[in-house]
Amino acid sequence: MNEDFSHLLVGVDDSADAQLAFRYAMYRAKKDQLKMTIVSILEKGEMNVYQALNKDFIHGKREDLEEHVQLYKKAALDYGVEHVEVIVAEGEPGETIVKDIIPHTDADLLIIGSEDKKGIAKHFGSQAAYMAKYAPISVLVVR
C-alpha cells in the first residue's frame, strides 16, 4: 500500500460510520499534512418521483446539502487541516464518486464508511464495496 499519500477524499453523509470515516480522515489529513476533499452526494433515489422531477425541490435539497458540507469543512479547518475543499454532486454515491469525482481530483486515497443508509438501498449491495472494487485509487473503509 502506498504510504506517500498527498490528497485524501472522504465521503460524508449523516450515518454513524460516515462520521467515523470523517473523523479518521481529519486525523490522517492533519497528521500527514494531506490536502482533504470532502464529498457528499445528493441521492435522487431518496426522493419520490414528484420531488425528483421538481427542479425547485432538487435545487433546494442541493443548497441544503451544500450548506451542510460547509459545516464539515469548518470542522476540518478548526481541527487543523490546512487545505480543505468540498464537492457536492448528484447521483448514486459509489458510481458518482468512482466515475465522476475521483477522475476530476488529484486524490490518491478515498476514505469511506462501511454501511449504506437504511432502507431499500441495502438490498442493492454496498456502496462501500462498489467503491473499494472499482476506485482507481487506494480505498480505506472505516467501521
**Residue carrying the nine cell digits 490522517:** 28
pLDDT per residue over 75-96, tens digit each? 999 999 999 999 999 988 999 9
Domain ranges of the chain: 7-142
Domain 7-142 has CATH 3.40.50.300: no
Whether pTM > 0.85 for this model: the answer is yes
- Counting Cβ atoms within 10 Å, is residue 143 exposed (0-12), middle (13-18) or buried (19+)? exposed
Question: The sheet that has 138-142: what strands, in order across it?
Answer: 84-90, 35-42, 7-11, 109-113, 138-142
